[in-house]
Amino acid sequence: MSDGPSRLSTVANVVRLLFWVLLIFMLLSQWVGTASLEKKRSAVIEEIQKTRGNRVITLIHREETVNLLGMAVSKYIDIDDAEAVLRAIRLTPAKKPIDLIIHTPGGLVLAASDHPYPGRAGACCLADCSRPSGS
C-alpha cells in the first residue's frame, strides 16, 4: 500500500509538468506566429519597393485574435499608428514617389482620398477594396 501514494504523486507531478509545458508552448507559438506574419508582411512591402522604385507606406486596420487551444480567447483591433505613417511621409525625400497602401473598413478610405499630400506633386490613386462590388 505504500507504493500507491508515491505513484499517485508521480502521476500528478507529470500531469502538472505537461500542463505547464503545453501552456508555454501555446504562448510561444502565438508569439512566433505573430512575428512570422509581420516578417512576411515586411518582405512583401520591401519587394514592392524594389520593384516599383517607390516608398511604400501602409495603414492597415485589422482585427487580431489571440488563440488558446485553437479557440479564440480575445480579439482586439490593431491599426498601424497614424503618427508613424505621417512621420514616414515627412521623412521620404520630396522627389521619391510614395505608394500608400490603405487596408481599412470603407469609411477610412473615403477620408484618406480627400487629403492629398501637401508639398508633393503627382496623382493620388486609391483602390477601395473594402466595399462589396456594386456599391
Domain range annotation of the chain: 1-39, 54-135
**Residues 101-135: pLDDT tens digits?**
877 665 555 555 555 555 454 444 545 444 444 43
**Cell numbers placing 55:** 516608398
**Residues 65-85: pLDDT tens digits?**
766 666 777 766 566 567 788
* Overall pTM > 0.85: no
Which pLDDT score, from 0 to 100, does residue 2 have? 54
**Residues 28-57: pLDDT tens digits?**
887 787 788 889 988 999 999 999 989 998
3-state SS, 55-118, equals EEEEEEEEEEEEEECCEEEEEEEEECCHHHHHHHHHHCCCCCCEEEEEECCHHHHHHHHCCCCC
